[in-house]
Structure 1
């Protein structure tokens, strides 16, 4: 049997149809099984779009054919890995972040049949919301197709308003048979967020809450996902943040990562530990738990992915100004000590 011909144009058309169907389903005023159906459609839209991007770039979209079996195209997970490996995401957009967002939805889709007894809508909502915006950027860059041409911006965020406290603290009371599966899913989701944040990824591209005007109000991090699960209303379990995952970097590793990511114009001067020290003095970074953490018995701080992103985002001119201020501060301190 010859390999089937696959048209990237048809893949894109079907992908857009799937995403528009997802938005339509989610925005129905009354809809049972809303989150599960929407996630299935969104993941399908991404899978087709990823395969179209690979096809357009001349990359393979089929697994190696097995004897006496038909050709099989890549699953969503593997298509995503190939797009990441070949760096087919839009310029200026962090592919790691987009991949984490899609991975979270794929994981939810794969587990949906086991999670029927748990109401996880508020947890999935920020990932769906961000995924639509990521998808629009991806399709527009790769295929010059704008999702907004087919739907109003008011509907694009998947809802008229964001749910209250969507991720920071979630209570679920599933049947006892579903509790272990729910906890397992939550733990996988936490690990994904922690790893993505630790890599210095743009968390705004992973999951964020937007108002109806698309003004970003909050980026989700692993630290936000503090979840309680009540088993038959008798016991509450709270998962605390593990600083070994959220703050894995020494100062040396932090500076290495920052320098590796500072490649944009006006952000390409190599930084040193002195620059980090000056920034810590200027902005009191060590007191910011999202940036730094120190064990009560420890002598040095460790740093998070948020610290990486923050340092990468500052311009060379900004660092130069801080160096000058810090030098003056040290001189004044030395003069005062001699007096």
Structure 2
């Protein structure tokens, strides 16, 4: 039995239809099962788009055929892995971050379809918002299709309550019947964000809260998922983070990772330890707990994924300017010591 023919054009068309349906469903003023249906449609849109990208690039979208069984196309998770492996994400967009975003939604989709998703809709909301914008960039880059062409963006921002951020959802006393499901999902998100942040992913592409003009307000990092707010709002519990997860890089590893990720105009020069020292002096990176950590008993600093992203984003021109200022600072300090 020959492998079925699959049209990338039809995959793209159906993918866009699924995403538009998801947006329409979510924006209905009265809708039961809103979050579950929306996520199912968004994941379906991504699955079809990822398969279209693989098909367009001449890559396999079927599993190896088993005897006496029909051909099976890749599940969303496996299609995503193949797109990551073959680097089919848009140029200039962090594929690690996009993959983390879709993975979070797939996890929620699996719970909703095969069991139930407890009451996690508000937790997944920032991932949905970001996923729509990521999807638009993906479709524009791969297929020259703009999702915005089919959407009236002038929507009235009306509602009984504003969507909560993940930090507000993390209550110390969830319903007993939902404890295991909620905790499993939250721990999965923590691990996912840990890995993405440690890899230097652009966390703005993983999950963020946007206003009605689609301007980013803040990215969601693992830090937003370690604070627990009591129902009464009377106390806040902070869970200690593990620096081995949040700050996994030595200085040498940090420089190596930054140089591997610096691409594009104005980012041609390989950075050195001196560039790092100059930037630390200029930006006080060692005093920023999001960037650096050192044990109180001494030892060297270790660095986070945020530090990677910070250094990657700066141009050669900026580093040249900082190096010059740092050199002047060292010379002045040396002259003062002689006096």
Q: 1:298 to 1:183 in 2, by over 3 A?
A: farther
Segments of structure 2 that go 5 or more residues without pairing to the other structure are none
What pairs with 1:53-202 in structure 2 (closer than 5 Å)? 53-112=53-112, 116=116, 118-154=118-154, 163=162, 165-172=164-171, 174-202=174-202
SS in 1 for 2:266: coil
Number of aligned pairs?
A: 335
CA RMSD of aligned residues (A): 2.4
Mapped partners of 2:143, 2:180: distance in 1: 42
1:263 and 2:263 matched: yes
Shift of 1:229: 8.4
Secondary structure of 1:168's aligned partner: helix
The alpha-carbon deviation at position 171 of structure 1 amounts to: 3.6
CA contact (8 A) 1:169 1:225 kept: no
Distance in structure 2 (CA, Å) of the matches to 1:270 and 1:117: 47
Structure 2 CA distance for partners of 1:179 and 1:229, relative to 1, 3 Å: farther
Deviation at 1:299, TM superposition (A): 2.4
What is the distance in 2 between the residues matched to 1:289 and 1:325?
A: 24
* Structure 2 CA distance for aligned equivalents of residues 10 and 279 of structure 1: 50
Residue correspondence of structure 1 range 243-262 to structure 2 within 5 A: 243-262=243-262
Between 25-34 and 160-169, report the one with greater CA deviation: 160-169
Contact 1:122–1:163 (Cα < 8 Å) also in 2 = no
Per-residue CA deviations over 1:192-250 (Å, capped at 9, x if unaligned) read 1111111111111111111111111101111121253889xxxx976433221111011
Deviations 1:23-55 (A, max 9, x none): 011001111111111100000000011111111
> Structure 1 length as normaliser, TM-score?
0.92
Query: Alpha-carbon deviation of 1:121?
Result: 2.0
Task: Give secondary structure in 1 for the equivalent of 2:169.
Answer: strand
What is the distance in 1 between the residues matched to 2:215 and 2:271?
32
Q: For 2:4 and 2:177, how far apart are their aligned partners in 1?
A: 43
**Unmatched tracts of structure 1, length 5 or more:** none
| Pairing 1:297-312 to 2, within 5 Å after superposition | 297-312=297-312
Match of residue 25 from structure 2: 25
Distance in 1 of aligned mates of 2:140 and 2:60: 22
